[in-house]
Amino acid sequence: MGFCCGACMVGAVGTLRQGSTLVHNVPLLYCPICHEVEVHHSVQDEFELLMEYARGDGAREVNLSEFIEGKGEDWKETCTGFQDGEPETVLREQIDMALDLLRVARQLEDGEWESALKHRLHVLGKRLARYRKAKTNR
d(CA 106, CA 102) in angstroms, rounded, equals: 6
Cα separation of 14 and 24, whole Å?
6
Output the pLDDT for position 90: 80
Are 82 and 41 contacting, i.e. CB atoms less than 8 angstroms apart? no
Burial of 46 (C-beta count, 10 Å sphere; 0-12/13-18/19+)? middle
pLDDT tens track for 60-81: 999 998 878 766 566 666 666 6
Per-residue pLDDT of 94-126, as tens digits, reads 899 899 999 999 999 999 999 999 998 998 999
pTM, two decimals, is 0.66
